[in-house]
Amino acid sequence: MSNIRIVLVEPAGELNLGSVARIMKNMGLTKLVLVNPQCDRHSEDARRMAVHAVDILENAIVVDSLPVALTGCQRAIATTVRSRSVPIKLEPAPTVLPWLLTPNVQSALLFGAEERGLSNDELKYAQRFISIPSNPDYPSLNLAQAVAICSYELYQTWLKLSHSPEEATFADQPQAIPELTPNHAPIDVLEGYYQHLESVLLKIGYLHPHTVPVKMEKFRRLYNKANLQPEEVAMLRGILRQVRWAIKNQSE
């Protein structure tokens, strides 16, 4: 549980923020990361709702962007009810959350702003996606409620695994995303590669500005299946540097 970050993107409600801190402490989660928060975590409202979890608020890490929030993470799950241009598999919380509980692997659980949830651009940083079943007439949950449901499921899974470690096989993991090892390339390292790849593919004409989002999303899904190690990412980036060098010298 200590390896899991709860990441809130642009939280706007101080009451929600305090409630999130409280439920985190209830369920044994300690790492809160706030991306460009739109409210004051030190406010009286936030502290009042946190009750005995004020330390979670005080120790929260505040960053400017989601990629920075995920620095060092190898796994990320996003919560969403939205559809996207590229199909994604929405999974129930009890099925997907055990994936975050692998020892020695840094993980993150992402939640969007109260007003809009996570955008398509923000969702691209996750490898798996949670959808919490709810009334289709009003499917959007309150932020603190969504965090509470996911935190509870995480804690229940942790209790089972801590009492029955021989059962910790994570058999429900999909074939598309293999089991990670502790030296699996972190998300920020992969993100650097994706940006490098995009610039080279634009340069050689494989990508065009209007096709970038959909094509790059497909590349992300492909590499999620590959379980890349840091040295393999370095090799791929070396290929891209050589392509750039060849383009430059050919033009001369």
| Distance separating alpha carbons of residues 116 and 118, to the nearest angstrom | 7
Neighbours of 232 (CB within 10 A): 14
6-47 pLDDT tens trace: 999 999 999 999 999 999 999 999 999 999 999 999 999 999
138-192 pLDDT tens trace: 877 899 999 999 999 999 999 988 876 544 444 444 444 445 555 678 888 888 9
Phi-psi group of 157: left, alpha or beta (phi > 0 → left; psi -120 to 50 → alpha; rest → beta): alpha
Average pLDDT over residues 57-83: 90
| Distance separating alpha carbons of residues 15 and 22, to the nearest angstrom | 11
User: Nearest to residue 154, comparing CAs of 32, 26, 252, 61?
Assistant: 26
Domains, the chain, ranges and CATH? 4-167 (3.40.1280.10), 187-251 (1.10.8.590)
Neighbours of 89 (CB within 10 A): 10
| Distance separating alpha carbons of residues 99 and 82, to the nearest angstrom | 22
